[in-house]
Chain A
Amino acid sequence: MSDTQPTFETIQLSDLENMAPEDRDALEFGVIGLRPDTRADVYNATEANMAGVDPAQVLGAPFFSTIGQCMNNFMVAQRFEDEPDLDDIVPFVLTLRMRPTRVRLRLLQARDTERRYILVER
């Protein structure tokens, strides 16, 4: 990795795809990667710590019907359905450890990449 860490706003879909898991874990923001069937196969350490959830509970499970239920509406889940090329930052409120927590989400999806990402910045 280069000296300048990519930020929540600047990181690209291709950066995330090519990154080693330990580098993704070192990012300052949460990274959730989803398969086309919405099962999570990336859940970085930053996100796991903030949410207080063991990644083993998340990986392999359909994200929007389990831990990501609050995103299962037109604000997030529907946008992945509707917009094949998506790169947008939306204000959001997560329920980390059951406390309402204001965050910014960045939704990333491209036609040529199978995995789609949700980045979480507190």
Chain B
Amino acid sequence: MSEEDDLLSFMYACPFGLMELDAQGNIGLINPHAMKHLLPLAGAYGVENFFSATEKYAPELRNFADSFVDSHGTICDGHRIVVDLGYNNRSRQPKVLACSLVKRGPDQLIATLSDISAQVAQEQRMRQADTWFSALIDQINDHALLTIAGDGTVLFANTSFERQTGYTAEQVIGHPLDSVLSEADSADQMTFSIADQLALATRDGWHLFEGWEQRVNGERYWCQRLLVARAEQGDSDNPTFSMVLRDVPEPTEKTNDLIELLTRDYLTGATNRMQFHKVLKLEHTRCTTRRQPLALIILDLDDFKSLNDEHGHPAGDTVLKEVTRIGADCTPARAIFARLGGEEFALLLPEKSLHEAVDLAQTLRRRIAELKIEVPGGHIDVTASLGCAELSETDGSSDDLIRVADRRLYDAKSEGRDRVAPAAA
């Protein structure tokens, strides 16, 4: 065998995806492992360009490359792409790919792609184990401990709790926990009532929560709370919980930046796909437990590809940012507006009916249609199609909620775009 054959065999068998791209993302060289991951994302007609192929799941990759000014260097390293929102996935575990991009010259990029789903699942297990382990250590050190009944009544408080909060045990035992502790999380995160947190701890075995807490003397402190379902008693109708409270330094700017980076879409600042997936699961549990409705709007911009082709990606990016601004404007308390990928957005509406969702979708549609994006020589008109669904119309799963909303989005598209389906609830 010649040296070239050796090299080819080596590349064919490489268990790691490797690609060479030009600055626009067009694929020059690609090995089979990379193709294995790209084909299911993009189909056989969409794998010529790496950025287009990953647009739906990681639209930020194009932005990373566009905004990298140096002629050489690492653009991103091990950037995580969650490629399944559940309903196309047999294993129900989202598949996570890691992507690195390196710039080798003005018009040459190298991209790597590998499947790290197993590693991510392992990390989650480690984090869970870590939480449990910390809880054990916490009892040795000076950390407050409460025992709570299933209805939220405090059954026991240790002396550390008295020291941390200034309450005496007598003042809290027999009282509902929400009269002692705050329910509000840090400003921009979700609010979960004590009942919600108990429901989540029942489902997952544990729930972590952090935010401002107040001592009896009015002093505020940053508090991490770990709520654990106690497993020792056999009476499943009357579960009890342990809660560990830690008085910790307020999170720094750096932590907040990291949270921002992990939960926001790079271009628009909307909630990203991964975070949407996480919140959807939490809200699904919460709304189901409390017998509250849970509505979803899926929004897709009409003819966005031709807009990009005609006016270029920067104009397309402006449209996406403007749509996000409108979306954020129309987002009620508790709801989240997320960019799912490409030109697809979702508005998750806990505690809202289908009727309310349709009304909101009409407002979004109207405001987007009123947008005028200025470009050289005129302006762009933008429209969107929207599909709405509510949990009680589905088989009860969050996957089906997405499926029904998606189907209605498709109806809105096929009925002529710039409309909402259903037209009225």
Question: Distance (Å) between the CB of B5 and the closest chain A CB?
Answer: 6
How far is B30's CA from A70's CA once the two chains are assembled, in angstroms?
10
How far is B344's CA from A73's CA once the two chains are assembled, in angstroms?
25
- On A, residues with C-beta under 8 Å from B are 51-54, 57, 66-75, 90-95, 97-100, 102
Contacts of B37 in A (CB 8 A): 73
Interface of B is mostly: helix
Is A69's CB under 8 angstroms from B33's CB?
A: yes
Contacts of B48 in A (CB 8 A): 100
Is B31's CB under 8 angstroms from A91's CB?
A: no
Is B39's CB under 8 angstroms from A70's CB?
A: yes
Contacts of B5 in A (CB 8 A): 52-54
| Residue B190 lies at the interface, judged by CB distance under 8 Å to chain A | no
- On B, residues with C-beta under 8 Å from A are 1, 4-5, 8-9, 11-13, 15, 27-37, 39-40, 44-45, 47-48
Which of A70, A91, A93, A100 touches B33 (beta carbons < 8 Å)? A70
Question: Distance (Å) between the CB of B57 and the closest chain A CB?
Answer: 15
Contacts of B40 in A (CB 8 A): 73-75
Contacts of B45 in A (CB 8 A): 91
How far is B9's CA from A99's CA once the two chains are assembled, in angstroms?
14
| Residue of A66, A68, A72, A100 most packed against chain B (CB within 10 A) | A100
Apart from A52-B5, A73-B40, A98-B30, 13 more pairs, CB < 8 Å: A52-B4, A52-B8, A53-B8, A53-B9, A54-B5, A66-B13, A69-B32, A70-B32, A70-B33, A74-B40, A91-B44, A95-B34, A99-B29
Question: Distance (Å) between the CB of A20 and the closest chain B CB?
Answer: 26
How far is B39's CA from A93's CA once the two chains are assembled, in angstroms?
8
A–B complex contacts, Cβ < 8 Å, 14 sampled:
A66-B13, A69-B15, A70-B33, A72-B36, A73-B39, A75-B39, A75-B40, A94-B35, A95-B12, A98-B11, A98-B30, A99-B30, A100-B47, A100-B48
Is A67's CB under 8 angstroms from B32's CB?
A: yes
| Residue of A66, A69, A98 most packed against chain B (CB within 10 A) | A98
With CB as the reference atom, state the residue of chain A lying closest to B12: A67
With CB as the reference atom, state the residue of chain A lying closest to B88: A74
Question: Distance (Å) between the CB of A88 and the closest chain B CB?
Answer: 13
Contacts of B39 in A (CB 8 A): 70, 73, 75, 92-93
> Top 9 A-B pairs ranked by shortest CB distance?
A70-B35, A70-B32, A91-B44, A69-B32, A98-B29, A70-B36, A67-B12, A69-B33, A95-B35
Is A93's CB under 8 angstroms from B35's CB?
A: yes
Which of A57, A68, A90 touches B32 (beta carbons < 8 Å)? A68
Question: Distance (Å) between the CB of A100 and the closest chain B CB?
Answer: 5
Is A69's CB under 8 angstroms from B36's CB?
A: yes
With CB as the reference atom, state the residue of chain A lying closest to B1: A54
With CB as the reference atom, state the residue of chain B lying closest to A73: B40
Question: Distance (Å) between the CB of B83 and the closest chain A CB?
Answer: 12
